[in-house]
Structure 1
């Protein structure tokens, strides 16, 4: 798995790098076919009182690219929100792959539950 972290208007310190790696490692726990992970951390400095911290991730998995973004006033909170969103997206993608589009119709379940006497 290739892992890249970039910063825009922000220096990526070793503790910040390690925090992102630790948080995003749980994605591999759910789905082991991750090819590439690219993280962009940025700070928007348009208004000093409304500083926004942005975290974006693009994950290439087998069959799809998953893009998730989050923003918050605290960068670590934005990373936490990002990992929660990414975790849900990866689990949903994995479920879709495992189901292969097969859905059991509701009426067939009701018919099998009722046995004729």
Structure 2
């Protein structure tokens, strides 16, 4: 997968690129296709801000992490994206109306509780 990594005020070293790519490799295990991931690394004062924008089928994900250590910020960003991807992946199964029993009640399969 090709990850677009840009930076403001710091140089992206091969070690930083490898760390970001390894976090995104973990995200690929969730079985959701990641379309054109973009990562921006910003340094403001003593803190690093890492932002990521990923297009997925039927949506787009955005996450931002801030920490004094760049590698810790990348790890936090990966955790946030992982939570969003699992939520996006499990969302079709979480529709409450499909399992509420309204349709079964209307069809006469269930008796309403009074």
Normalised TM-score (structure 2): 0.81
Structure 2 unmatched ranges of 5 or more? 105-109
User: Aligned ranges for residues 1-117 of structure 1 at < 5 Å?
Assistant: 1-45=1-45, 51-96=46-91, 98-99=92-93, 101=95, 103-105=98-100
Aligned CA RMSD, in angstroms, stands at 2.2
Gaps of 5+ in 1: 46-50, 113-117
Post-superposition CA distance 1:60-94 (Å, at most 9, x none): 00111100000001111110000000000001001
Distance 2:78 2:49 in 1: 13
Q: Give the TM-score normalised by structure 1.
A: 0.79
Aligned length: 104
